[in-house]
Amino acid sequence: MTITQLYYVLAVAENQNFTKAAEKCFVTQPTLSMQIQKLEDELDVLIFDRGKKPIELTEVGRKIVHQAKNIVNESYRIQDIVDQQKGFIGGEFKLGIISTVMPTLLPMFLNTFIKKHPKVKLKIEELTTEDIVQRLNEGHLDAAIAATPLEIENIKERVLYYEPFVGYVPNNHRLFKQHNIEPSDLDVDDMLLLEDGHCFRDGILNICKSFKKHEEDTFQLESGSIETLIKLSNEGLGMTLLPYLHTLDINENLKSNLKYFKEPSPAREVSLIYHKSELKMQIIDALQQVISSIIRGAITFQNVKIISPLLQKKQV
């Protein structure tokens, strides 16, 4: 039994196809099939039911795959130990980021991180929280940036910052003339929301404690983009809530539409999350240090004023 054979087994289990698995492993299909056949012969069991389309795991195969994941992950840890001992920060690092964080936070830290750690090959992908958790558990992501707390088994969280919510209120809205707003002012019936699957939507609904589904509503609209929500709000179709960092790029002519909450402002927690196996921790530590150094002082919570050096110390 070899680590390579177990790696091939995991690839077939994931892709449910020998040809696709071979492509992912950068080997020929006969080579991959032969190695898996050798493992099955050694164990005297069938790991895959090849008669099914797509290929399925046998009962014992499911147990083998579960253990194989642990073994392969532990084998990766050996290289991690060596890298950490040498103080090496480099190699491929797969990072997932939720869509409501990606466009604002990524430009803030990416260039700095690349310059500081040029040997790290970042592969960044925009994903939903659900996809992030699945890929972290499957080993297809090394870490992610998402809204927390998630309180999911096997997933560890490191808080990066707390980001306040800011109201975006069109001129014709009942709250436009108010200088500040409170959570009790909000009504989900005149709120533009992100579509299901976005944790930011869930955060807004938690603020709107009076939320109820009304089957007789004549107008309900959800979008997958914060930018779209802003445009629809400008058309007078309702108000929305924005994460604070999204307000930094609002056109000066629209600044009057921003309505800040009275202290303490409701906020979302944004964290760096990773699997409990703690692989590539030296890169995770480096990523946290870079992001924290940039964001420090920009986002605070509770009764502390929000001050961002990126806004030339503009106070909210």
Residue 302 has pLDDT above 90, yes or no: no
Residue 184 pLDDT: 84
Residue 309 has pLDDT above 70, yes or no: no
> Domains in the chain: how many in total?
3
- CATH number, position 237: 3.40.190.10
Please name the helix (run of DSSP H) or strand (run of DSSP E) that holds residue 112, with its range, or none.
helix 102-116
Residue 305 has pLDDT above 90, yes or no: no
Residue 191 has pLDDT above 60, yes or no: yes
Residue 308 has pLDDT above 80, yes or no: no
- 151 and 169 in a common domain: no
Given 84, 112, 141, the domain boundary residue is 84
**What is the Cα–Cα distance from 236 to 33, expressed in whole angstroms?**
60
**Domain assignment of residue 20, given as a range:** 3-84
**What is the Cα–Cα distance from 243 to 267, expressed in whole angstroms?**
8
- 244 and 124 in a common domain: no
Q: What is the percent of the chain with per-residue pLDDT over 90, rounded to a whole number? A: 41
* Burial of residue 56 (number of CB atoms within 10 Å: 0-12, 13-18, 19+): middle
| Residue from 108, 98, 96, 97 nearest 194 by CA | 98
- 73 and 30 in a common domain: yes
| Residue from 151, 164, 153, 155 nearest 96 by CA | 155
Task: Determine contact, residues 116/290, Cβ cutoff 8 Å.
Answer: yes
What letter does residue 44 receive in the DSSP assignment?
A: T
Residue 77 pLDDT: 78
- 34 and 124 in a common domain: no
CA dist list (Å): 182 to 162, 165, 207: 18, 11, 10
- CATH number, position 71: 1.10.10.10
- The predicted-structure confidence for 222-276, as pLDDT tens digits, reads as follows 445 778 888 888 888 888 888 888 888 888 888 888 999 888 888 888 999 999 9
Tokens 């803030």 label which residue? 108
- 290 and 144 in a common domain: yes
Provide the whole-model pTM.
0.73
- 46 and 130 in a common domain: no
The four Cα atoms 234, 165, 126, 192 give a dihedral, to 10 degrees, of -40
- 289 and 154 in a common domain: yes
| Residue from 315, 305, 274, 310 nearest 160 by CA | 274
- 220 and 175 in a common domain: yes
Residue 211 has pLDDT above 70, yes or no: no
Given 218, 240, 261, the domain boundary residue is 261
**What is the Cα–Cα distance from 177 to 168, expressed in whole angstroms?**
12
| Residue from 188, 213, 214 nearest 201 by CA | 188
Task: Determine contact, residues 288/160, Cβ cutoff 8 Å.
Answer: yes
Given 56, 84, 112, the domain boundary residue is 84
- 29 and 10 in a common domain: yes
- 168 and 308 in a common domain: no
Residue 297 pLDDT: 56
- The predicted-structure confidence for 105-132, as pLDDT tens digits, reads as follows 999 999 999 999 999 999 999 998 999 9
Q: Which residues contact 279 (CB under 8 A, 6 or more apart)?
A: 73, 76, 77, 80, 142
Tell me the pLDDT of the chain averaged across its residues. Answer: 82
**Mean pLDDT across 31-54:** 93
As a whole number of angstroms, the longest Cα–Cα distance in the chain is: 76
| Residue from 196, 310, 187, 300 nearest 241 by CA | 187
Q: Which residues contact 107 (CB under 8 A, 6 or more apart)?
A: none
- 238 and 114 in a common domain: no
CA dist list (Å): 130 to 13, 73, 94: 20, 22, 16
Instruction: Band the pLDDT of 214: cuts 50, 70, 90.
Output: very low
- The predicted-structure confidence for 44-94, as pLDDT tens digits, reads as follows 999 999 988 889 999 999 999 999 988 888 888 788 788 777 878 888 999
Residue 199 pLDDT: 56
Residue 151 pLDDT: 87
- 132 and 65 in a common domain: no
**What is the Rg, in whole angstroms, of the alpha carbon atoms belonging to the chain?**
24
